[in-house]
Amino acid sequence: MFHKEGFKIITIAFLVFAALSIGVHFKIENHWIQKVSLIVLLLLFGLILQFFRNPKRNFVLNSEHILAPVDGKIVVIEEVYEKEYFKDKRLQVSVFMSPLNVHVTRYPIGGEVVYSTYHPGKFLVAWHPKSSEENERTTVVVQSGVFGNVLHRQIAGALAKRIVNYAKIGDNVTQSSDSGFIKFGSRVDIFLPLGTKIKVKLHQKVVGGITVVAQK
């Protein structure tokens, strides 16, 4: 199953792959060069398919849990000053995604979207300390009954050139439903109230919509 954000790119990639494969077949006479060229083209097409995959998952919704917004690896767990929306101290948990991860961004908690905005910016590597403030990014805040306001921020990486954000102010959203999509390597930050119990560790691999990141 593939995400809707990939339909256009997958179609174009398939047509290009088909055209190049036909060209290789008729224009290159050497059998081994033909074979290697086709294998390389097939691998590239396979990488595109993998990037836009959207596997079916059995989500267990729980209003007392904060779920991982994306697949990836925990790279930050720390108390920070969040200066865009809260303007006070929060617990930040950050998940880094490689190009091989599923790149669907999911709501870590259900509730009402009270803030949603896009910031143009740079394309520093996603693990750079300043990427959270200087890179292209979107910020979404969901008001939940248990945790209050929870912020998650999609951050473009060095390869990511487009962030898709579905959140609109006033939307009532369901935990683990699609919040957006980041094309190629990137990162998502979550900002939680102080005192929230963090249930993950640095360098732990998490699964979007499945892994419990924190609980009340």
pLDDT in tens, 36-60: 888 888 888 877 777 777 788 889 9
Q: Give pLDDT, residue 190.
A: 97
- In the residue annotation, 179 being an active-site residue is answered as no
pLDDT in tens, 147-190: 999 999 999 865 555 788 999 999 999 999 999 988 766 889 99
Q: Indicate whether 203 belongs to any domain.
A: yes
Residue with tokens 């097939």: 42
Give the three-state DSSP class for 41: helix
State the pLDDT confidence band at 127, using cuts at 50, 70 and 90.
low
Please count the structural domains in the chain. Answer: 2
Q: Using the predicted structure, report yes or no on whether residue 62 has a pLDDT greater than 60.
A: yes
User: Which domain, by its residues, includes 18?
Assistant: 4-51
Mean of the pLDDT values across residues 193-209?
96
Q: Give pLDDT, residue 129.
A: 56
- Give the predicted TM-score (pTM) of the model: 0.81
Q: Indicate whether 58 belongs to any domain.
A: no
Q: Are residues 196 and 126 in the same domain?
A: yes
Closest CA to 66 of 202, 158, 189: 189
Asked if residues 72 and 94 have their Cβ atoms less than 8 Å apart, the reply is no
Tokens matching residue 122: 């740079």
Q: Are residues 19 and 106 in the same domain?
A: no
Which entry of 94, 116, 144, 186 is annotated as an active-site residue? Answer: 186
CA distance 191 to 153: 8
